[in-house]
Amino acid sequence: MAYKRDEEKFKNIAEERVEILFILAKKFCLTDVETAKNYVKAAVRIAKFCNLRLGKKKALFCKRCFTFFNSENSRVRLNSKKNAVEILCLNCRYKRSYGYGTEKNTGRGNRNTIIIQNHNL
């Protein structure tokens, strides 16, 4: 049981650190792109190690090359056929899309909305 309690404590610390790293990445994303990339890499590494969900933060960086998006290195378009937001990374041309307009898993007692609220995004 002690192990489980420790794990929860670690998760809280990890969440805090990921939050801080993303704030720092946002601070540096216009001036120093490489530093921002390193912060994102560190945040993703922590999240993977502690089984954290990044949630909406996934839309802030490129999945392939870890660039933190700003107005110069990304392009955001709405695809009305797929009902999706498409983010194109201009560094590596990786396109990421996520849906809009539809709610997922509405039959499960709004489980998704509760998770999003807990993350304080």
Binding site for Zn ion (CB under 5 A): 62, 64-65, 89, 91-92, 94
Nearest alpha carbon to residue 7 among 42, 51, 44: 51
Looking at residue 85, its amino acid is: V
Cβ closest to Zn ion, residue 50 vs residue 94: 94
CA atoms of 43 and 117, how far apart (whole Å)? 20
Cβ closest to Zn ion, residue 71 vs residue 120: 71
Cβ closest to Zn ion, residue 13 vs residue 90: 90
Q: Structure tokens of 85? A: 């937001």
Please name the residues in contact with 21: beta carbons below 8 A apart, sequence gap of 6 or more: 39, 40, 42, 43, 46
Q: Structure tokens of 93? A: 């041309």
Cβ closest to Zn ion, residue 14 vs residue 65: 65
CB of 100 to Zn ion, least distance (A): 22
